[in-house]
Structure 1
Amino acid sequence: MTQLLQRQVRNRLLRRFPEDSFELLAPLLEPVELPVRHSLVQPRKPIEHVCFLESGLASMVAESADGKSVEIRHIGREGIAGYPVVLGVDRTPNGTFMQVPGHGLQVAKENFLPTLENADVRQLLLRYVHTCELQLAHTALAAAKFNVHQRLARWLLMCHDRIDGNDLPLTHDFLALMLGVRRAGVTDELHILEGMRAIKSTRGNVRILDRDMLIEIAGGCYGVPEEEYERLIENSPQPSALPLHLNGNHHHHTL
C-alpha cells in the first residue's frame, strides 16, 4: 500500500497531527468500510481499535440497566471512535455504532497508544475529549430546558455538520433514539420543522432546506460545543502547515 499522505485524509484530527507523528502512525492505519449498524465500540467489551472516521456518522449510545437507551453524541470526521483509550480507559458501558454508512482509518489500540507519548498529539486528543464532554453537557441542557422540536433542530444541525450535502439518510427510528421520544412523536416534530420550511422529510431521509432557520429554531441549544471545537482544534496553532479546511464545497461547519 502506498504511503498515506496527511493532506489526503479527511479526518479533522488526523489533519492536525504533527507531521512526524502522522508519518509514524500512517503505515498502521487500515482503511475500513463502515456499513450501517457496524459496531465500533461494544459496551463493556475491551476497546481493541481506535477508528478515525473519514465519512459517515456514528452514534454513541447510553443504555440503562433495564435496557432503555438514548443517543448521547455523534461522531463524524471531526473525531474518533474508541476515544476513552486516550483517558487510559480500556472499556466503557456506552456503545458506538454506525448510523450513516461511511469509511474510516482504523488502528489497533496497542499501535495507537504510543502516539500519545508526543505532547502535541496528547494535547490535541485531550482537547477533543473536552469537546466531547461539552457536547454531552449540551445534550443534557437541551433535554432539560428546550422543546423537542428545538432539540430535533439541534440534532439535525449536528448531523448536517458531519455529512456531505443536504440529504441526511436518517430513519424515524434513529431520530426517536436521538431524541429519546416515541417514534410517533418524531413524525409530529418533523411536521413542525417542515411547516417552518426548514426541512423536507421523506421516508428514511431528511433534506435540509434552510440551515439558518434550523439554527434559529434550535436557539441556544446549538453552537457552543461547535465553537469550542473550532477554537481548540481548528484555530489552535498547528504543528504542521496544513490547510485548515477539509472541504471547500461545504457552506457550513465540516465537523
Structure 2
Amino acid sequence: MAGIAQEQATNRLLRSLPEEAFGLIAPDLKACDLPAGRPLVEADKPIEHIYFIESGLASMVAVSSDGNSIEVGQIGYEGISGYPVLLGTDRTPNRAFMEVAGRGLELSTSRFLSLQAHPEAHLVFLRYIHTRELQLAQSALAAARYSMHKRLARWLLMCHDRLILDDMPLTHDFLALMLGVRRSGVTEHLHILEGMHAIRSTRGSVRILNRRILLEVAGASYGAPEAEYERLIGSELLGDERPSKLRGAGWFS
C-alpha cells in the first residue's frame, strides 16, 4: 500500500504524526495480514520490522529461562510493536505476537528510526513508550494488590479498548496464560461476571454485555495508562471524524 494517505490509517500513532513526518514513511508502509499467533518480535532476535497495528490484538510476553511466561502488555490500533528500538537496542528478551488476528502496516526498522530526525514525531513515540511503561507498572500493581476478579475485569476492558468488538475471540486457556493463573480460576471468575450480566462467555469467545459493570468491578485497577495516552497523544479518532468502525470504542466510553 505504497503512498497510503494519513486519513486512511486506523493506527492512532500514524494519525497523530505531523503531516510532514508521515509523508517521510508513507511510501514504505506495507499493508499486511496479521494472523493469530504471528510473531511480531522474537525473543533475543534483531527487530527488523515495526508493525503499526490497524486491527486485531497483539500481546507482549515476558518469558523466563525455565519456560514460565506472562503477558506484560497489549497492543492494538493505538500502538506499535518493536518500540524497544527507540531505546537504542536492536532486540529484547520479551516476545510479541498476535493474540487476535488483524491487519497492520509493516515498516523496516531503519526507515522507522529515520523519524528520530523529526523532533515532533520523535516526541510522539517517546510519549507512547511512557504509556507502555505505565501499562506495565499498572499490571504489576494489579497483580500484587488487586483480586483476580478485578484483574480479569481490567484485562477484558483492555482487550475491548483495542479490538473495538463486543464479541472477542478469547479462550479460557489463553486468559489463564495471559493472567498467569490456573484455567479453573479464570473460568470461575468469568462465571461471576456472567452472573452480574457484564459478559457472556462461550467456547472461544467472551461477549461484552455491559462495559459499565466491568468498569465498576475493575475500579482503580484500570484507567491510568488509558488516561495518560489520551492526555499525551490523543487523535482525531476521538472526535466525530473518526471512521464509523471505530465509533463506540473503549477508552472511557
Q: Same fold (TM over 0.5)?
A: yes
SS at match of 1:55: strand
Equivalent residues in 2 for 1:126-141, closer than 5 Å: 126-141=126-141
Instruction: Report % sequence identity.
Output: 57
Structure 1 partner of 2:113: 113
Structure 1 partner of 2:101: 101
Equivalent residues in 2 for 1:151-190, closer than 5 Å: 151-190=151-190
SS at match of 2:233: helix
| CA displacement 1:155-209 (0-9 Å, x = unmatched) | 0000000112211111112101221101121111101111111000000100000
**Long gaps (5+) in structure 2:** none
Structure 2 partner of 1:238: none
Rounded to whole Å, the distance in 2 between the matches of 1:141 and 1:247 is 34
- Deviating above 3 A after TM superposition, structure 1's stretches of 4 or more consecutive aligned residues are 242-249
Task: Kindly state the Cα deviation for residue 254 of structure 1 after the two structures are TM-superposed.
Answer: 5.5
Which AA in structure 1 matches 2:106? Q
| CA displacement 1:197-247 (0-9 Å, x = unmatched) | 100000010000000000000010001110000000017xxxxxx665434
Moved more, 38-47 or 175-184: 175-184
8 Å Cα contact 2:116/2:122 also seen in 1? yes
Task: Kindly state the Cα deviation for residue 110 of structure 1 after the two structures are TM-superposed.
Answer: 1.1
8 Å Cα contact 1:247/1:254 also seen in 2? no
Rounded to whole Å, the distance in 2 between the matches of 1:178 and 1:227 is 23
**TM-score between the two structures when normalised by the length of structure 1:** 0.94
Structure 1 partner of 2:250: 253
8 Å Cα contact 2:12/2:237 also seen in 1? no
Moved more, 194-203 or 180-189: 180-189
Which AA in structure 1 matches 2:131? T
Rounded to whole Å, the distance in 2 between the matches of 1:70 and 1:2 is 36
Change (3 A) 1:140 1:191: same
Rounded to whole Å, the distance in 1 between the matches of 2:180 and 2:124 is 32
Establish whether residue 195 from structure 1 lines up as the match of residue 192 from structure 2.
no
Structure 1 partner of 2:227: 227
8 Å Cα contact 2:57/2:98 also seen in 1? yes
Task: Kindly state the Cα deviation for residue 80 of structure 1 after the two structures are TM-superposed.
Answer: 0.2
Rounded to whole Å, the distance in 1 between the matches of 2:187 and 2:251 is 27
Rounded to whole Å, the distance in 2 between the matches of 1:102 and 1:109 is 21
Structure 2 partner of 1:57: 57
Structure 2 partner of 1:80: 80
Structure 1 partner of 2:20: 20
Rounded to whole Å, the distance in 1 between the matches of 2:155 and 2:140 is 13
Rounded to whole Å, the distance in 2 between the matches of 1:146 and 1:247 is 36
Task: Kindly state the Cα deviation for residue 122 of structure 1 after the two structures are TM-superposed.
Answer: 0.7
Structure 1 partner of 2:122: 122
Which AA in structure 1 matches 2:40? L
Task: Kindly state the Cα deviation for residue 64 of structure 1 after the two structures are TM-superposed.
Answer: 1.2
Establish whether residue 204 from structure 1 lines up as the match of residue 204 from structure 2.
yes
Task: Kindly state the Cα deviation for residue 251 of structure 1 after the two structures are TM-superposed.
Answer: 2.2
SS at match of 2:84: helix
Matched length: 249
Moved more, 68-77 or 162-171: 162-171
| CA displacement 1:62-83 (0-9 Å, x = unmatched) | 0112110001110000000001
Rounded to whole Å, the distance in 2 between the matches of 1:145 and 1:247 is 38
CA RMSD of aligned residues (A): 1.5
